[in-house]
Amino acid sequence: FEEKQAELKKEEQMLAEELKILAESIRALRIQSAGQLKEQVSGELRSLNFPGADFSVQFSRQELGANGCDGAEFYISTNPGEPLKPLRTVASGGELSRIMLALKTVLADRDEIPTQIFDEIDAGISGRTAQKVSEKLFRIGGTRQVLCITHLPQIAAMADHHYLIEKESDADSTRTAVREISGAEITAELGRLIGGSEITAGVLKTAEEMKLLAERGKQSLRQV
């Protein structure tokens, strides 16, 4: 029994040393990959209206386990001159949506999550930035289902399917209705996003042109 115990302890020690070597190898690969992820995500963030954004992955030593010896956390600075802080402590809801969009754009070919939901991803953006966001959403939509709630016509125009959400109230209750729209209804809703309550012929023409440009843009993105 004592000989068998000594033999097993020796084997345990050898396996523990081998495990440490493997964990250190994995750590080195993680650090290398984190450097690549930092550059790619920071670039995506700058195109999503975070001009001074900086992103990094910081590692901490942990007790050796099934995931190796590393703890990992995302750090971010969204404004020039601000120090990097844990993502979970600094980002607002709208910022988190755009940061997630940047991550999903970079990891689009590796992520196996089938559906992505983005709510108010258009907070605080407009113009060219909104167009960039819509293009990234479309790229992600090439490999998974994307659900996006938006108030920006640039983003809405890029969708393949449109659903109108309406609130209906009477003296007794309030209900929310969701229905799919198509054709002229899409143009009318884009016009409402562009022009507000008054939809003129000029606004409708702009909406039609926006939808046409979106379809052309989607066709170009499919060929990339």
State pLDDT tens for residues 56-71. Answer: 999 999 988 888 899 9
Say if strands 145-149 and 115-119 run parallel, antiparallel, or are unpaired. Answer: parallel
Residue 36 has pLDDT above 80, yes or no: yes
Distance, in Å, from the CA atom of 42 to the CA atom of 55, rounded to the nearest integer, reads 6
Measured distance CA(224)–CA(221) in Å, rounded: 5
pLDDT (0 to 100) of residue 164? 93
In tens, the pLDDT along 177-218 reads 999 999 999 999 999 999 877 888 999 999 999 999 999 999
- Residues 106-163 have pLDDT tens digits of 887 777 788 888 887 877 777 888 888 899 899 888 888 999 999 899 999 999 999 9
**Greatest Cα-to-Cα distance within the chain, rounded to the nearest angstrom:** 93
Query: Does position 18 have pLDDT exceeding 90, yes or no?
Result: yes
Nearest to 105 by CA among 75, 72, 133: 133
Residues 6+ apart with CB under 8 A from 79: 52
How would residue 9 be classed by pLDDT, with cut points 50, 70 and 90? very high
Distance in angstroms (rounded) separating the CA atoms of residues 174 and 193: 23
Q: With cut-offs at 50, 70 and 90, classify the pLDDT of residue 52.
A: confident
